[in-house]
Structure 1
Amino acid sequence: MTLTHIPLPNLPIPPSWFPGHMMKFTRMLPALLTRTDVVLEIRDSRMPLTSINRTLEGALQKWRRERGWDPNNPNRRIVNAGACERIVILNKRDLVPEWGMEPFRRAMAKKFPDQQVLFSSWQRPRDIRNLSDLLT
Structure 2
Amino acid sequence: MLKRFLRVTDVPFSASAGLLALRVVIGVAFMFHGWGKIQAPFSWMGPTAPVPGFLQGLAALSEFGGGLAWILGLLTPVASLGLAATMAVAVAVHVSNGDPFVAMGGPSYEAAAVYLGISVALLLVGPGRLSVDAAVFGTKR
Name the TM tier (shorter chain): under 0.3
Q: Which structure: larger Rg? A: 1
More relative contact order in 1 or in 2 (CA 8 Å, sep 6+)?
2
- Determine which structure has the larger strand proportion and give its number: 1
Q: Given the two structures, how large is their TM-score scaled by the length of structure 1?
A: 0.25
Q: Given the two structures, how large is their TM-score scaled by the length of structure 2?
A: 0.24
